Amino acid sequence: MKYRIAAYISGSGSNLKAILDYSIQKKIASEVVLVIANKDASGLEYPASLGIETAVIPRKEMPRKEFVRRQEELLKKYNVDLIVLAGYIRKLPKEVTDKYENRIINIHPALLPKFGGKGMYGMNVHRAVIEANEKYSGPTIHFVDDIYDNGEILLQKKVEISIDDTPETLQKKVLELEHIAYPEAIKLLEERREN
């Protein structure tokens, strides 16, 4: 069965773009109906060009209550039943994680439970993986709860790290896999919903 997805982003939104393209090509049944960012992220341009509602809700520029209220209002307006975090750097408010328990997923650019937790995002993760002389890395898609990178793992994909990989080349390798893994994870959830 299909989901009505709200995607949360903070940056270039390449994972969101991959999901949107799978959805347009009907390779997944779900639809992105809303995109929320914590700042004026460049990744908002593509969904906006497709006519999808985009909203910038910056935490620091409003009282917490207002920050929560605006999200709740939009999630309700668009009947969202799955939240997809795609490079969103803020923690979701408890009001939202409570309401969407088991219906929020995140992508992390390493093989959790290693290399997760607070401060572990973007290039920091790839640097730590290279420094630890790991043999493999790859994206993890997991359910989101109140603790960073803690929820149940839904899907992982592995790529071998070669001796001449740098954090930058590793990031590129992992990101390519992310763009395949994230739509695949959504498809898995669609199938679970049918059963």
Residues of this chain that bind ligand GAR (CB under 6 A): 9, 11-15, 43, 86-87, 107-109, 120-122, 125, 175, 178
CA distance from start to end of the chain:
9
Q: Which is nearer to ligand GAR, 27 or 117 (CB)?
A: 117
Residue number with CB closer to ligand GAR (122 or 167): 122
* Cβ-closest position to ligand GAR: 87
CB of 177 to ligand GAR, least distance (A): 10
Nearer to ligand GAR, 12 or 193 (CB): 12
In angstroms, give the least distance from the CB of 98 to ligand GAR: 21
| DSSP line for 16-56 | HHHHHHHHHTTSSS-EEEEEEESS--GGGHHHHHTT-EEEE
Q: What is the CA 184 to chain-centroid distance, rounded?
A: 13
Q: In terms of CB distance, is 127 or 195 closer to ligand GAR?
A: 127
Strands (E), the chain: 4-9, 31-37, 53-56, 82-85, 104-108, 136-137, 140-143, 153-156, 159-160
Q: How far is the CB of 192 from ligand GAR (least distance, A)?
A: 22
108 is catalytic: yes
Instruction: Identify which of 108, 168, 103 has the alpha carbon closest to the alpha carbon of residue 138.
Output: 108
Beta-bridge partner residues of 159 = 137
Residues 6+ apart with CB under 8 A from 107: 15, 85, 86, 87, 139, 140, 141, 178, 181, 182, 185
Least distance between ligand GAR and beta carbon 22 (Å): 14
Active site residues: 108
